[in-house]
């Protein structure tokens, strides 16, 4: 007997536990919106921290347990509330980044008569082993349920990364001059100036980098969203604070602080700069699609477990660069992540090579397919099996 076709409008529950600031919810929110807008799924996002979510999406009311935004149903996830028998179990259940969905919900999944697809969405990695484990099934030890592991990645045989269908069109329509006047209040600097966006965790290397920009031969204009690095900028410029709207100048460095950039407009910040410093996973992906040179501040892990992940990303991103440019980028990324000394001049002298590689890499990454589309295909295959 042939399997019944999958419903045309699947219901999907995404469980998200906010662990790393905006990274976890940032990825889940992008994915939820894309599954709804591009694939027609009925998506519910269950998230345990609405306060952090509100910063990314000001439409979110932190006082509400249940609400809707961008066509996605949002629920404040509190175990065991919103779990188990009280819910209609979805066709596709996604537990993001190894969060533990409530036992009552899993038990209800096992009682469901119609087949479902249970997917563990993993963290992004460029490491080679990811392709070997991508989409592997794992049976539940107690219930007749099987979940599969879905790995975002930077190479063939992985789930790829999030990329909306209209991204290129939005980029083509972007008016950098208008953006600068609206968001910064000044005209866009000319090509003789290097424009840098800085979105970073606290970082011991930032003082040395600011000093090198101050003493640089080529002017640097710095754009930094208000956040965890703002205190370092305040100390460097000798001011009490460096919040949204603040500006300061020292030598060749001119810095402007922006208000927190809401997620749908974060791409514009990356498009407006010549070089982007990003952190975590969500902004790391957006920097690659911006097709501009970037520097990644990876989330640090115990016993330097993050270093192989950093090096794997570098291996993909620097492939094709000549030895000098590759070594300069590798050394700079490592220094920004706490291993080595920052050398701005040695890094940025390869600007032309970095710009060419950034555009080339964006095209290479697109060939893997986007995460949402790949996940939809996987879920449909699971439901039809």
Same domain for 345 and 380, yes or no, is no
d(CA 217, CA 236): 19
Q: What is the pLDDT along the chain (385 residues), one digit of tens a residue?
A: 344 444 458 999 999 988 766 778 999 999 999 999 999 999 999 999 999 899 888 999 999 999 999 999 999 987 655 555 556 799 999 999 988 888 888 988 998 889 999 999 999 999 999 999 999 999 888 888 899 999 999 999 999 999 999 999 999 999 999 999 999 999 999 989 999 999 988 899 999 999 999 999 999 999 999 988 999 999 999 999 999 999 999 999 999 999 988 888 999 999 999 999 999 889 999 999 999 999 999 988 777 778 999 999 999 999 999 999 999 999 999 999 999 999 999 999 999 999 999 999 999 999 999 999 999 999 999 999 8
> In which order are the strands placed within the sheet that holds 42-47?
66-69, 72-76, 42-47, 11-16, 92-96, 117-121, 146-150, 137-139
Look up the domain containing 286 and give its range.
167-366
Same domain for 68 and 91, yes or no, is yes
Is residue 148 within 8 Å of 137, Cβ to Cβ? yes
Copy the structure tokens of residue 19.
Answer: 């662990």
CB atoms within 10 A of CB 52: 17
Active site residue 95: no
Does residue 5 sit within a domain?
Answer: no
Active site residue 281: yes
Does residue 6 sit within a domain?
Answer: no
What pLDDT shows up at residue 8?
59
Inter-CA distances, 259 with 55, 118, 166, 170, 183, Å = 11, 38, 25, 22, 9
Same domain for 126 and 220, yes or no, is no
Catalytic residue among 13, 91, 95, 281: 281
Same domain for 25 and 154, yes or no, is yes
Inter-CA distances, 179 with 184, 196, 273, 367, Å = 8, 15, 11, 30
Same domain for 154 and 199, yes or no, is no
Catalytic residue among 24, 95, 267, 274: 24
Q: What is the CATH number of the domain that holds 235?
A: 3.40.50
Same domain for 91 and 29, yes or no, is yes
CB atoms within 10 A of CB 61: 12
Does residue 1 sit within a domain?
Answer: no
User: Residue 303: left if φ>0, alpha if ψ -120 to 50, beta else—which one?
Assistant: left
* Structural domain count, the chain: 2
Same domain for 94 and 217, yes or no, is no
Same domain for 235 and 149, yes or no, is no
Does residue 3 sit within a domain?
Answer: no
Same domain for 210 and 83, yes or no, is no
Does residue 4 sit within a domain?
Answer: no
Same domain for 29 and 171, yes or no, is no
Does residue 2 sit within a domain?
Answer: no
Same domain for 248 and 187, yes or no, is yes
d(CA 235, CA 99): 38
Q: What is the pTM of this model?
A: 0.92
Does residue 188 sit within a domain?
Answer: yes
Does residue 227 sit within a domain?
Answer: yes
Inter-CA distances, 316 with 1, 313, 369, Å = 45, 5, 16
CB atoms within 10 A of CB 341: 11
What pLDDT shows up at residue 368?
95
What pLDDT shows up at residue 141?
85
Copy the structure tokens of residue 259.
Answer: 């208000």
Same domain for 73 and 203, yes or no, is no
Query: What pairs with residue 96 in β-bridges?
Result: 121
């Amino acid at each position: 007997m042939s399997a019944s076709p999958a419903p045309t409008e699947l219901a999907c529950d995404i469980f998200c536990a906010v662990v790393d600031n905006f990274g976890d919810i940032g990825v889940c929110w992008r994915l939820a919106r894309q599954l709804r807008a591009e694939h027609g799924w009925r998506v519910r996002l269950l998230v345990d921290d609405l306060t952090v979510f509100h910063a990314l999406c000001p439409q979110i009311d932190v006082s509400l347990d249940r609400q809707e935004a961008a066509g996605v149903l949002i629920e404040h996830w509190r175990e065991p509330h919103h779990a188990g028998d009280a819910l209609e179990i979805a066709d596709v259940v996604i537990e993001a980044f190894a969060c533990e969905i409530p036992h009552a919900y899993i038990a209800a999944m096992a009682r469901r008569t119609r087949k479902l697809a249970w997917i563990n969405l993993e963290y992004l990695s460029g490491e080679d082993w990811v392709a070997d484990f991508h989409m592997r099934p794992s049976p539940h030890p107690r219930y007749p349920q099987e979940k599969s592991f879905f790995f975002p990645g930077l190479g063939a045989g992985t789930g790829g990364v999030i990329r909306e269908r209209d991204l290129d069109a939005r980029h083509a329509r972007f008016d950098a001059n208008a953006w600068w006047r609206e968001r910064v209040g000044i005209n866009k600097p000319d090509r003789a100036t290097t424009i840098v966006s800085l979105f970073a965790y606290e970082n011991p290397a930032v003082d040395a980098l600011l000093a090198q920009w101050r003493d640089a031969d080529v002017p640097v204009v710095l754009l930094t969203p208000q956040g965890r690095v703002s205190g370092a900028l305040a100390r460097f410029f000798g001011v009490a604070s460096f919040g949204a709207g603040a500006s300061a100048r020292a030598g060749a460095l001119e810095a402007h602080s922006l208000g927190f950039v809401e997620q749908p407009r974060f791409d514009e910040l990356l498009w407006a700069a010549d070089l982007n410093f990003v952190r975590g996973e969500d902004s790391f992906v957006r920097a690659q699609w911006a097709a501009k040179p970037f520097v990644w501040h990876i989330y640090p892990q115990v016993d330097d477990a993050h270093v192989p992940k950093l090096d794997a990303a570098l291996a993909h991103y620097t492939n094709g660069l000549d030895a000098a440019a590759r070594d300069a980028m590798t050394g700079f990324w490592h220094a920004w992540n706490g291993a080595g000394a920052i050398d701005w001049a040695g890094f940025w002298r390869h600007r032309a090579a970095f710009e060419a590689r950034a555009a080339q890499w964006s095209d290479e990454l697109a060939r893997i397919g986007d995460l949402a589309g790949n996940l939809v295909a996987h879920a449909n295959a699971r439901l039809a099996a």
